[in-house]
């Protein structure tokens, strides 16, 4: 048996490790073992508009019930916590670009469950300073990998032109105000778009991007992220 396994490994080497725990995984598991995948904080019952995980039987979260978002629908794979958060931080800040592939495969699984029709796939651009420091745009890496899976090419249609102050301490509406004028189009958008990003917090970034492309003729904008924060808006901010 060992000899047979050695021969098979010689002709078809796997050498794939789980990106969470490091155990050997099969090629079809796309870099994450079944045990670790089950432990990810997957979204369950989600808002039909923004895709955030909600713990009630309502169809829409408090944010979407009282605030108008420009994009048509958004979905996320996981809540931004636990191992999902760690994967994003490793991809963004530790140079572990290979993580875009398992993340993209999980996002593609969610995408296949949606009844979305789109002409092209694009991504939220990073600023020139961020690209210079990090060396890449993680959203673009994920978008390219998703496009490989669904056999379509990603289009680079916008650039980030505004240096934004940190948003961590901003309230809900402050984040939306902060994003105004952040992007500029490089080319005319298609009639419908799928926009890829790593994390959705309030949806302000995706909303600003959707405003821009719809202003220039795009009719439908769907958004897909790996993770989204579960955060309700205080009543005083509505």
DSSP 118-153: -SEEEEPPPPHHHHHHHSS-HHHHHHHHHHHHHT--
Q: Say if residue 189 is in the same domain as residue 227.
A: yes
* Residue 191 and residue 40 in contact, taking contact as beta carbons nearer than 8 Å: no
**What's the CA dihedral at 161, 92, 178, 213 to 10 degrees?**
60
List Cα–Cα distances, 225 to 103, 108, 142, 188, 229, in angstroms. Answer: 10, 10, 9, 23, 11
Q: Say if residue 30 is in the same domain as residue 113.
A: no
Q: Say if residue 151 is in the same domain as residue 63.
A: yes
Per-residue pLDDT of the chain (238 residues; tens, 9 = 90+): 555 444 444 434 446 899 999 999 988 899 999 999 999 999 999 999 999 998 888 888 887 866 678 999 999 999 999 999 999 999 999 999 999 999 999 999 999 999 999 999 999 999 999 999 999 999 999 999 999 999 998 999 999 987 666 666 667 677 787 788 889 999 999 999 999 999 998 899 999 999 999 999 999 999 999 999 875 544 334 3
Q: Say if residue 109 is in the same domain as residue 222.
A: yes
Q: Say if residue 120 is in the same domain as residue 12.
A: no
Q: Say if residue 1 is in the same domain as residue 86.
A: no
Q: Say if residue 149 is in the same domain as residue 228.
A: yes
Looking at the structure of the chain, the number of domains it has is 2
Q: Say if residue 200 is in the same domain as residue 90.
A: yes
* pTM as predicted: 0.88
Give the H/E segment covering residue 184.
strand 183-185
Q: Say if residue 17 is in the same domain as residue 68.
A: no
Residue range of the domain that includes 26: 1-39
Rounded to a whole number, what is the distance in angstroms from the first to the last CA of the chain?
A: 65
């Amino acid at each position: 048996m060992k000899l047979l396994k050695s021969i098979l490994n010689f002709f078809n080497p796997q050498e794939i490790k789980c990106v969470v725990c490091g155990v050997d995984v099969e090629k079809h598991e796309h870099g994450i073992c079944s045990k670790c995948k089950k432990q990810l904080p997957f979204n369950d019952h989600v808002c039909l508009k923004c895709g955030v995980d909600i713990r009630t039987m309502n169809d829409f979260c408090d944010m979407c019930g009282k605030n108008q978002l420009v994009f048509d629908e958004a979905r996320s794979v996981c809540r931004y916590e636990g191992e999902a958060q760690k994967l994003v931080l490793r991809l963004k800040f530790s140079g572990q670009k290979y993580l875009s592939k398992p993340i993209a495969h999980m996002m593609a699984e969610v995408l296949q469950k949606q009844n979305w029709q789109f002409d092209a796939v694009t991504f939220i651009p990073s600023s020139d300073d961020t690209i210079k420091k990090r060396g890449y745009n993680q959203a673009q890496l994920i978008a390219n990998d998703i496009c490989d899976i669904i056999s379509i090419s990603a289009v680079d249609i916008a650039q980030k032109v505004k240096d934004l102050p940190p948003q961590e301490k901003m309230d809900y509406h402050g984040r939306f105000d902060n994003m105004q004028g952040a992007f500029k189009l490089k080319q005319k958008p298609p009639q419908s778009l799928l926009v890829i990003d790593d994390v959705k917090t309030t949806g302000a970034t995706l909303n600003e991007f959707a405003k821009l492309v719809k202003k220039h003729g795009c009719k439908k904008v769907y958004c897909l992220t790996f993770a989204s924060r579960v955060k309700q808006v205080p009543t005083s901010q509505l």
